[in-house]
Amino acid sequence: GQNIDQPTEMTATEGAIVQINCTYQTSGFNGLFWYQQHAGEAPTFLSYNVLDGLEEKGRFSSFLSRSKGYSYLLLKELQMKDSASYLCAVRAGAGSYQLTFGKGTKLSVIP
Amino acid sequence: DTEVTQTPKHLVMGMTNKKSLKCEQHMGHRAMYWYKQKAKKPPELMFVYSYEKLSINESVPSRFSPECPNSSLLNLHLHALQPEDSALYLCASSQDVGTSDWTGELFFGEGSRLTVL
């Protein structure tokens, strides 16, 4: 089976740094995605990790440790518009269309 | 053009109605998806089409009937739905698994919010 855990809610201050963790236990692993979803809108792609290590993209970075079944999304210089849900998703098999999403972490950025 | 367009944005229907949700993309993607998302829940995969053929059906009730008329269009036909089917229905597309640089990144439409009375 597939199990993906992430915190339900987090609050952080504008201008600060926040780290959103994701742990997974899946039957197979072929990549981990982070998506951002504002309320009432579609998810938008943030990052993709398939090898261990850190991927940096502007204010957003994502880290993966396959041996630990662990990833995090790091958001720097938080802005009010970063208030959204952040979804961790795992692709279990090579050539698989199926992404299993975690329940999402609702991030609230406060002044 | 990196958009996935869904219509209608909002739909209210009775349990005896027949309606359809439509999705269109012009990115040349050959894989298209329907996801269902309830409030405060993650998206759940319903169907996947690859090269206009149904590749995955996640045991979805037959009152939901997908159709892929061509490589740019994906429909979801709705009939005899239940109130618990009320949700946001998201269409997505991606490169097909056979593409050499495929990551499986999904491009989502804005969704169709369905209310079944």
Phi, psi angles (nearest 5°) of residue A65: -130, 105
Nearest CA in chain A to B88: A40
Q: Give the angle subtended at the CA of B96 by the CAs of B113 and A26, to the nearest 5°.
A: 75
For B19, other C-beta atoms within 10 Å of its C-beta total: 17
pLDDT along chain A (111 residues), means of 10: 91 97 91 93 91 95 96 98 96 76 95 95
* A95 touches B: beta carbon within 8 Å: yes
User: For position B63, what pLDDT does the model report?
Assistant: 96
* A79 touches B: beta carbon within 8 Å: no
Name the pLDDT band for B101 (thresholds 50, 70, 90): low
Q: How far is B97 from chain A (nearest CA, A)?
A: 5
- Three-state SS at B83: helix
Contact B104 A33 (CB under 8 A): yes
Mutate to test the interface with B, among A97, A98, A103, A106 (most CBs of B within 10 A): A97
Distance, CA of B27 to CA of B74 (rounded, Å): 14
End-to-end CA distance of chain A: 41
Strand partners, B60: none
pLDDT (tens digit, 9 = 90+) per residue, A2-29? 789 999 999 999 999 999 999 999 888 8
Contacts of the segment B21-24: beta carbons below 8 A, 24+ positions apart: B21/B75, B21/B76, B21/B78, B21/B89, B21/B91, B21/B112, B21/B114, B22/B73, B22/B74, B22/B75, B23/B73, B23/B74, B23/B75, B23/B76, B23/B91, B23/B109, B24/B72, B24/B73, B24/B74
Sign of CA dihedral B93, B97, B99, B105: positive
Nearest CA in chain B to A4: B42
Mutate to test the interface with A, among B94, B105, B115 (most CBs of A within 10 A): B105
User: For position A99, what pLDDT does the model report?
Assistant: 85
For B83, other C-beta atoms within 10 Å of its C-beta total: 9
